[in-house]
Structure 1
Amino acid sequence: MKKVLLALLVLALLAGAAAGGWYQLREQRITEFAATAVTLATPVTVEIPSGTGPRALARLLTEQHVTTDAELLYLYIRRENLGPKLKAGEYEFSGDLTPTQALEKILSGQVKVYRFTVPEGLRAEEILPIVADSELKLDLKKLEALAASPAFLRKAGVPAQTIEGFLFPDTYTFTRNATEESVLTKMVARALEEYKHADADRKNGVKLDLLQTFTLASIVEKETGAPQERPRISCVFHNRLKKGMRLETDPTVIYAMRLLRGVYNKNITRKDLETLHPYNTYKVAGLPPGPIASPGTAALQAALHPIECEDLFFVSRNDGTHLFCPTYECHEANVRKWQVEFFRKPQKQGANSAHP
């Protein structure tokens, strides 16, 4: 009997040792697996749905070749108790990547993002296709419908009947779950945020409200591409408004003709200048009803904080900059030199239309 008990004890000890050895071997395999990199020749995007558990995640990453062994990855997740910390979303993996690094990206929620950039001075009809054509793959018709929806405009805080001028020029970052409404809402919010910053530095005596500020800023934006000129361009328009003079700014005429004809054409005719329209500042006094494009930060700041000047006129030097004058006689001489004589001479430079 003693021999039997002794034999059983020996067998138990051997079985325990075997089990301990197997466990240690398994732990070693898991550790080595977690630290062994996989080389991804091209980036791999994996969508992890909400509610995905450790085993499903391990299988998903292995099927997408982010890792090489679903069972070992599952065991690693279980061993480290990572299941409750995993975050759903769209993730991109690239280059040399260990399972540990792949999981760290998921644990920290480093989801894949998509970017698009809107330059300054574009109209809404130019901006919406940029958004639709981005990697977000949004629906242009839905974007256009929202941009024309009074309910959406009110909800987003747009103080006008159209979204023109309130799609702020910037580089935007979104995740795959972005919708047409969330994207446009963020763009409008950026515009209103920049207005608040500019308003905090508003010059004493400048009484423009929010809509008027965006309207004047959009004109300043379209009138010059030279950043240093914006506060002076703004000064000219403020001076003309104070004196009750018409602004007589070409970009508003171009915009008016776009609204009338449905076609954007930069060439202005005498008939255009004489066409009565709320946006034709050659015919209507004061600011037009709303913005003619989306102004950037510098233009908003210039609209609310013009420099001190006595200028009432400016004319293009045909190089992106302007000459300024306080009197019509001075302005007339500049027009003669830079818009008449300049183009009589043979040259390859492009022309800018005369300004106020």
Structure 2
Amino acid sequence: MKIKKIILYISLAVLVVVAYFGFNVYQIIFTPNTQFSDAKVAVYIPTDASFEEVQTILLPYIKDMGTFVSLAERRSYSNNIKAGKFEITQGMNNNKIITALRLNLPVKVTFNNQERLEDFAGRLGSQLELDSLEVLNLFKEPAFLKENGFTEETVFTLFLPNTYEFYWNTSSEKLRNQFTKEYYRFWNEERKAKAERQGLTPIEVSILASIVQKETAKVSERPRVAEVYLNRLKKGMLLQADPTVIYAYKKETNDFTQVIKRVVNKHLITDSPYNTYKYGGLPPGPIYMPDVNAVEAVLNPEQHDFFYFCASVTNFGYHEFATTLEQHNVNARKYIAWLTNQTVPQ
């Protein structure tokens, strides 16, 4: 009888211990363990991060770090950390958090309004785990430039503003390879044939498109502006594009932060191949990162015989076009009179 009682007590004790450990295991694995109010948060784990660094990154979002660490070690996450972008949803338990930390999510990378390769590299560095200087040097690598027919001035034509998807921890080399693939995919045989009909190479199309986009924000007007410059090129005239003068001045003064709203003599006398008031043909490289629409405007220009244009004072945002210099001077005087009354700072 005593033996039966002893066995019973032992069994009860075992059940209590099992229940205790079972409860602990349940707590560790299945109890919600987040402490943020948003529906989800993104966390970024750097390449070669230690488990201690991961804990520091997760600290603002994890309620009980001890239980998380315990399960992470059991599930071998602590010594098998993945780098990248990960999402944690509110109310996740430790098990789901660890699973989420093994699913690297792509990042939507956007860029536009870039004037220089340096700006573009900085933009990429702000969105991905990249060193901006490394990216810049990689795109200026002599072997890469030679292989793809670029120079340091023209390599900026490789990029077209869009939304791209990359993993946050994508290497600089993979990034360059992807942009290069996109470039050659865009410049298919049809577009190259259109460029040839305009007497331009794909690089020259992008350079001219950068000027067109800087001249007008109105998408509907870009094919007309593009044809003005194409007409000038065919006739051997100077392009005399104000945006190139502004770019030349910024480049010569090494200050791309300045805002120049009106071109005056100190800008026009800038001795730079980007100054199309002084040098014939296209500048040696783009003055901006043109979007697809601007490129298409150069490839598919509006057919006309205009050689001049200036800002309209009756249809703001658009331009007045002219065939002769006399017609243009009339339009220009109207604009200068209006501009003077606005006291636009120089």
- TM-score with structure 1 length normalisation? 0.69
* Residues 328/197 of structure 1: CA separation in 2 closer, same or farther (3 Å cut): same
102-111 vs 303-312, which moves further: 102-111
Read off the aligned partner of 2:226 and give its amino acid letter: S
* Residues 248/104 of structure 1: CA separation in 2 closer, same or farther (3 Å cut): same
Q: Distance in 2 between matches of 1:44 and 1:222?
A: 36
* Contact kept? 2:248, 2:270, Cα under 8 Å: no
* Residues 196/27 of structure 1: CA separation in 2 closer, same or farther (3 Å cut): farther
* Contact kept? 2:157, 2:207, Cα under 8 Å: yes
Identify the match of residue 330 of structure 2 among 328, 333, 344.
333
* Residues 110/14 of structure 1: CA separation in 2 closer, same or farther (3 Å cut): farther
Identify the match of residue 109 of structure 1 among 77, 101, 104.
104
| 2:116 matched residue in structure 1 | 123
Q: Distance in 2 between matches of 1:82 and 1:262?
A: 52
| 2:213 matched residue in structure 1 | 221
190-199 vs 248-257, which moves further: 190-199
1:342 aligns with 2:334: no
The Cα shift of 1:21 comes to 9.4
1:151-162 to 2 correspondences below 5 Å? 151-154=143-146, 157=148, 159-162=150-153
The Cα shift of 1:297 comes to 1.3
279-288 vs 231-240, which moves further: 279-288
1:256 aligns with 2:248: yes
Q: Distance in 2 between matches of 1:217 and 1:87?
A: 45
* Contact kept? 2:238, 2:280, Cα under 8 Å: yes
* Residues 168/331 of structure 1: CA separation in 2 closer, same or farther (3 Å cut): same
| 1:166 matched residue in structure 2 | 158
The Cα shift of 1:250 comes to 1.5
What is the aligned length?
333
| 1:307 matched residue in structure 2 | 302
* Contact kept? 1:67, 1:99, Cα under 8 Å: no
Read off the aligned partner of 2:217 and give its amino acid letter: G
| 2:198 matched residue in structure 1 | 206
* Structure 1 gaps, min length 5: none
* Residues 284/107 of structure 1: CA separation in 2 closer, same or farther (3 Å cut): closer
- TM-score with structure 2 length normalisation? 0.71
Q: Distance in 2 between matches of 1:283 and 1:46?
A: 50
SS in 2 for 1:295: coil
The Cα shift of 1:39 comes to 2.9
* Contact kept? 2:130, 2:172, Cα under 8 Å: yes
The Cα shift of 1:212 comes to 0.9
Q: Distance in 1 between matches of 2:46 and 2:264?
A: 58
Q: Distance in 1 between matches of 2:272 and 2:22?
A: 79
Identify the match of residue 225 of structure 2 among 205, 228, 233.
233
* Residues 336/192 of structure 1: CA separation in 2 closer, same or farther (3 Å cut): farther
Read off the aligned partner of 2:123 and give its amino acid letter: I
| 1:322 matched residue in structure 2 | 319
Larger Rg: 1
* Residues 299/72 of structure 1: CA separation in 2 closer, same or farther (3 Å cut): closer
Read off the aligned partner of 2:298 and give its amino acid letter: A
Read off the aligned partner of 1:88 and give its amino acid letter: K
Read off the aligned partner of 2:121 and give its amino acid letter: L
The Cα shift of 1:44 comes to 7.9
1:97 aligns with 2:80: no
Identify the match of residue 239 of structure 2 among 247, 251, 255.
247
SS in 1 for 2:247: helix
Q: Distance in 2 between matches of 1:23 and 1:227?
A: 72
Q: Distance in 1 between matches of 2:118 and 2:67?
A: 52
Q: Distance in 2 between matches of 1:201 and 1:17?
A: 86
| 1:36 matched residue in structure 2 | 31
1:161-200 to 2 correspondences below 5 Å? 161-162=152-153, 163-171=155-163, 174-183=166-175, 186-187=178-179, 190-196=182-188, 199=191
* Contact kept? 1:315, 1:322, Cα under 8 Å: yes
* Residues 141/106 of structure 1: CA separation in 2 closer, same or farther (3 Å cut): closer
The Cα shift of 1:207 comes to 3.6
The Cα shift of 1:216 comes to 1.0
Identify the match of residue 296 of structure 1 among 278, 291, 295.
291
The Cα shift of 1:276 comes to 5.7
191-200 vs 209-218, which moves further: 191-200
The Cα shift of 1:234 comes to 1.0
SS in 1 for 2:34: strand
Q: Distance in 2 between matches of 1:217 and 1:82?
A: 53
169-178 vs 212-221, which moves further: 169-178
